[in-house]
Structure 1
Amino acid sequence: MDSSEYREHDGLSLAGLLHTKQVLPVDLMEQALALGERCDEAFNALCYLDPEEALAQSRQAQLKGQFGALPFLLKDSGLASTYLRSSVGSRLFADMKSPISATLNERFIADGFISFGRTTVPEFCMAPTTEAAQNGGPTLNPWDQTRSAGGSSGGAAVAVSSGVVPIAHGSDGGGSIRIPAACCGVFGLKPSRGLVPLGPSRGEAWGGLAADGVLTRSVRDTAAALDGVVGMEIGAPYAAPAVPGKYLELLSHEFRRPLRIAKWTEAFDGIPVAPECVAAVEYAANLLEAMGHEVISAPLPDIKYKSFLRSHQDVLAASVTLTVNGKLRSSPDAEWRSKLEPAIADAYDIGKTLSAETYALAINRFHAIARQMEVYMSGYDLVLSPTLTQLPAKLGVMSMETDFRSFRNTVGEYTTFLAIINASGQPAANVPVYWTDTDLPVGVQLIGRFGHEADILRVSAGLEEAAPWAERYSRLKLTV
């Protein structure tokens, strides 16, 4: 198998070749490592590669789970691995080692994934663009290298779109799976709160906003990956509704009736939405109507967006303070402040001064949004919206070389449709059905009711069939 053939397959297709002994695990790993090296040189998307360990694991691999022994990448978000170091995109946390493996990582391993490195992130995963100083420069969008790959799972989206791996780990606390999926033209689903385990070292992240998942080239790969990792974890503070069956099997089930889908083309507080982003929604709406569903132009829920942004900032700042103080208690560093980017250093100071009342108010505000969204969606099965309010951002536009609140206010105007769904805990996915005339992806978002991932996956699979995107990936050339 050469690199061109490897890049034509999605994860389940490669797994099929493994299970039928048409290829060996080490054959796939050799291709992934070679492509990874070229991808990193071209786009600065990977870090903490461990080729020797990966090749050793592949040579010894016994096929297991759905994916057999498939090359995989963990996000540099700190998801614990006993052999891959992490930095969380920060010079202060460079080269962290973990004595344990996260529950999610163990489930990835059990389902047949072999991780050979990590993917780049912004510092502390707190930006919609991946331009961390720790990475030595920005992670570039493979479709337009003057633009951001998105964040915080920016490196993961680049690795998947460019074909290094068909599936990569991501996480999402304010759009961090959906943003880069939109920027790089891949499928990315944020699961419902409590569906995917966060332990064993923590029960929640960012006040319940954050969830782990994957970014993929095909909808079926996301469905299959979820089948391997979902389920309750002992002691977890949240639980999603029971899964209705195997997601992969549910993809082929027809809906018993047409779905009612609310369509949003305007943003909260009159925030401008680029015409290309509106065009993407209208294009997807036409596809959905052709599939037999009812798409309704609907008013936005009555969410006080500026108040929510403030609460989101407060919880993120508190998280920065907690994280930095934990590092300093275990490993004092006299130069620690100079190792943080300006916006994150400012967030640390904000977090130190937050009152308990302010933090509690923020959490209550998130819970109120969850109730609002569930009531709002009582009349709809799904919501269709732009993923981002603008085209993928130009590099340097959302810099951390400023104060934290100014930075996050700018982010809030770019990701207006995303973080509220982290607050509500609902599932949501970027679906890459629309591209500009210049081959730039423009994502649309499908939002589902809490615990209704299957609806999103089934509709997304229909959109993938109606407007296939897989053939576009062959246009990306990994040359430096």
Structure 2
Amino acid sequence: MLSDYHQYDGLGLAALVCEGEVSPAELVDTAIAEIERLDPALNAITQTLYEEARSAAREGVDRDAPFAGVPFLVKDLIATVAGTPTTGSCRILKEHRFAADSELVARFRRAGLMILGKTNTPEFGIMGITEPVLNGPTRNPWDVSRGSGGSSGGSAAAVAARMVPLAHGGDGGGSIRIPASHCGLVGLLPSRGRNPMGPGLGEAWGGLAREHVLTRTVRDSAAMLDCIAGADVGAPYAAPAMTGTSFLAAAQAAPVPLTIAFTKEALYGRDNHPDCVAAVEKTVKLLQDLGHTVEEAKPELDRHALAKAYLMIVCGWVAWEIEHSAGIAGVPVRSGDYELTSWVMGLVGRKNGAIELAKARHICDMAARTMGRFHQRYDLFLTSTTARPPVEVGELYPSGGDAVALNVLKYLPLKSLLNKALDSLAEEALSATPNTQLFNQTGQPALSLPLWQNGEGLPIGVQFAAPLGGEGTLFRIASELEAANPWIDRQPSLLKAV
């Protein structure tokens, strides 16, 4: 057992393995002990693969692999692990086991990672909270009365609590960056097409969704992108080629002066919480002190049209996911097998046709053109990651009048009513997390950094977006800020209490 396990990031643990100071088996057993000790308070883990991980550690690890012997968790959505269910927190999939690893998981293994289990996610990943009916809510290690964000909330809670140094996540509208912000982590949305999604998918959510990891350090995120980046066989598209020798090299490169735009406003919402505004203001001051040119500016976008387009695309894919999951389970499509929000979003997708989807995709494509022109002037765009600090568990889950309205739509699924609800959702549904979806729509990379905390000691993330293919610039600025205002030694209250 490694007594100072909490102090190391993934690359740090791998260095210990490489130097023979600790064995992969010892790391696996240490991580299992931490999961058993801490997860009862968090509910981050939905499946355990302890014996499989112990067996992999005993069989031997390539000590030259970048993450040799490092304990790891996989989000229970999209990525498949051979012999285990990938449920997406959908009840009818909990017994279905996938025969093979997805390409991303295969690359995780080649990087040396030891997979200990699967992490909690909302059904189909469609909410910015991780509170599924199937598994129950995941709680935040900084304050267990609060949520960890979604949809990679299980992975975020596990990494923040130091159960593992990094874990898999996916992001279709902020689902890596939102929990990274709420749990005090580094969370990267890679460029569209950067990481593989095959062989079972060409793309997810019409290209909105991308997969990567949540980490405690910038270098772990960069090094992992080096391990997993690149289109797999038959991919529908690929991200622009990386500039430079590696993403890790970009993270370790000397800083260069950048021109950075920022806004303190919410992108798709009405307002930002004062804590989130303060985080942007402090980041601007820090950037200026480091020699960067920082200007208050934002792109001219129709935020309501973009929010509605985003939701239309998601609803179309949820409709497909409902039919697809029923087909996998070998059962007819039945409303009782799905959560109310999922079912109603699926109804919106079914009731609308190809023209509505084409319009939504066109709106996203035009936003990408706008952002491309914006980045001809600005290297990066800074916002707060979310518009609110972490909220209480249950606060954002539909209840009361919202639940009644969803039930009306469930039993009276008229297209006019569903589209009126969609129009309202574009104003209300993203109010707590309105700053992340734009970059899913445009294909750009965006990175949440845990630079600040509020007066209650809760993490408040800030987000940088770069032009398509600009992960190297993100890692360079992130490393500079990490050195200027380190966060690695901050410990969540759960670790102090146990």
Identify the TM-score tier after normalising by the shorter chain. over 0.9
> Are the equivalent residues in 1 in contact too, given 2:262–2:295 (CA < 8 A)?
yes
Q: Which residue of 1 aligns with 2:436?
A: 418
Q: Which residue of 2 aligns with 1:131?
A: 131
Q: Which residue of 1 aligns with 2:141?
A: 142
Q: Match for 1:370 among 368, 371, 386?
A: 368
Q: Which residue of 1 aligns with 2:306?
A: 308
1:180 aligns with 2:198: no
Counterpart AA for 1:363: R
Q: Which residue of 2 aligns with 1:451?
A: 469
Task: State the secondary structure of the residue aligned to 1:432.
Answer: strand
| Counterparts of residues 22-421 of structure 1 (less than 5 Å) | 22-63=21-62, 64-135=64-135, 137-244=136-243, 245-255=245-255, 257-268=256-267, 271-298=270-297, 300-333=298-331, 336-401=334-399, 402=403, 403=406, 405=422, 409-421=427-439
d(CA) in 1 for partners of 2:448, 2:146: 18
User: Relative to structure 1, is the Cα distance of residues 397 and 246 closer, same or farther in structure 2, using a 3 angstrom cutoff?
Assistant: same
Counterpart AA for 2:197: L
1:464 aligns with 2:464: no
> Are the equivalent residues in 2 in contact too, given 1:168–1:214 (CA < 8 A)?
yes
Deviations 1:393-448 (A, max 9, x none): 22212114533846665332222110011001111011001011321000100111
How far residue 84 of structure 1 moved from its aligned partner, in angstroms, is 3.0
Q: State TM-score, norm by structure 1.
A: 0.95
d(CA) in 1 for partners of 2:267, 2:113: 40
When the two structures are aligned, how many residues end up with a matched partner?
Answer: 476
Counterpart AA for 2:246: K
Deviations 1:33-55 (A, max 9, x none): 11112232011111111211111
Q: Which residue of 1 aligns with 2:460?
A: 442
Task: State the secondary structure of the residue aligned to 2:231.
Answer: coil
d(CA) in 2 for partners of 1:334, 1:206: 23
> Are the equivalent residues in 2 in contact too, given 1:187–1:429 (CA < 8 A)?
yes
Stretch moving more, 181-190 or 265-274: 265-274
Counterpart AA for 1:471: D
How far residue 251 of structure 1 moved from its aligned partner, in angstroms, is 2.0
User: Relative to structure 1, is the Cα distance of residues 367 and 237 closer, same or farther in structure 2, using a 3 angstrom cutoff?
Assistant: same
Question: Once the two structures are aligned, what percentage of the paired residues are identical?
Answer: 37
Counterpart AA for 2:339: E
> Are the equivalent residues in 2 in contact too, given 1:315–1:362 (CA < 8 A)?
yes
Counterpart AA for 1:453: E
> Are the equivalent residues in 2 in contact too, given 1:92–1:336 (CA < 8 A)?
no
d(CA) in 2 for partners of 1:106, 1:415: 32
Deviations 1:21-69 (A, max 9, x none): 1000010000111111223201111111121111111111222520112
Counterpart AA for 1:130: T
> Are the equivalent residues in 2 in contact too, given 1:261–1:383 (CA < 8 A)?
yes
d(CA) in 1 for partners of 2:329, 2:30: 39
Task: State the secondary structure of the residue aligned to 1:87.
Answer: coil
Deviations 1:264-312 (A, max 9, x none): 10124661111110110111111111211111111x2121111112221
Task: State the secondary structure of the residue aligned to 1:412.
Answer: coil
User: Relative to structure 1, is the Cα distance of residues 75 and 409 closer, same or farther in structure 2, using a 3 angstrom cutoff?
Assistant: farther
d(CA) in 1 for partners of 2:269, 2:73: 39
How far residue 259 of structure 1 moved from its aligned partner, in angstroms, is 0.2
Deviations 1:194-230 (A, max 9, x none): 1111111111110110110110000000011011011
Stretch moving more, 54-63 or 369-378: 54-63
Task: State the secondary structure of the residue aligned to 2:68.
Answer: coil
User: Relative to structure 1, is the Cα distance of residues 414 and 237 closer, same or farther in structure 2, using a 3 angstrom cutoff?
Assistant: same
d(CA) in 2 for partners of 1:238, 1:44: 36
d(CA) in 2 for partners of 1:379, 1:474: 39
d(CA) in 2 for partners of 1:407, 1:65: 46
Stretch moving more, 143-152 or 399-408: 399-408
How far residue 177 of structure 1 moved from its aligned partner, in angstroms, is 0.3
Q: CA RMSD for the aligned pairs?
A: 1.7
Deviations 1:48-107 (A, max 9, x none): 112111111111122252011211100011311113322101213223311221111111
Stretch moving more, 218-227 or 336-345: 336-345
Task: State the secondary structure of the residue aligned to 2:375.
Answer: helix
d(CA) in 2 for partners of 1:101, 1:418: 29
> Are the equivalent residues in 2 in contact too, given 1:281–1:386 (CA < 8 A)?
yes
How far residue 334 of structure 1 moved from its aligned partner, in angstroms, is 5.8
Counterpart AA for 1:88: G
How far residue 329 of structure 1 moved from its aligned partner, in angstroms, is 3.2
Counterpart AA for 2:346: Y
User: Relative to structure 1, is the Cα distance of residues 400 and 339 closer, same or farther in structure 2, using a 3 angstrom cutoff?
Assistant: farther
Stretch moving more, 455-464 or 325-334: 325-334
> Are the equivalent residues in 2 in contact too, given 1:344–1:400 (CA < 8 A)?
no
Task: State the secondary structure of the residue aligned to 2:468.
Answer: coil
d(CA) in 2 for partners of 1:184, 1:407: 26
